[in-house]
Amino acid sequence: MRTDPTNTPRQNKKNDPFGSTLRMFLAACAAEIYVLAIRRYYINGTLNQVITWDDVLKKTLYAGLAVAAVGLILGLALRNVKKVSPWVRRSGWWLMALGVFLTVSGWVSREVYATGVTMPFVSFSDAVDRKNESGRCAAAER
> Region 89-96: what's the mean pLDDT?
88
DSSP string, 33-91: HHHHHHIIIIISS-HHHHHHHHHHHHHHHHHHHHHHHHHHHHHHHHTT-SSS-HHHHHH
Spatial contact of 130 and 138, defined as CB atoms under 8 Å apart: yes
Q: Would the pTM count as exceeding 0.85?
A: no
Give the rounded distance of the alpha carbon of 61 from its chain centre.
Answer: 10
> Region 42-59: what's the mean pLDDT?
88
The pLDDT of residue 139: 47
Structure confidence at residue 41 as a pLDDT band (50, 70, 90): confident
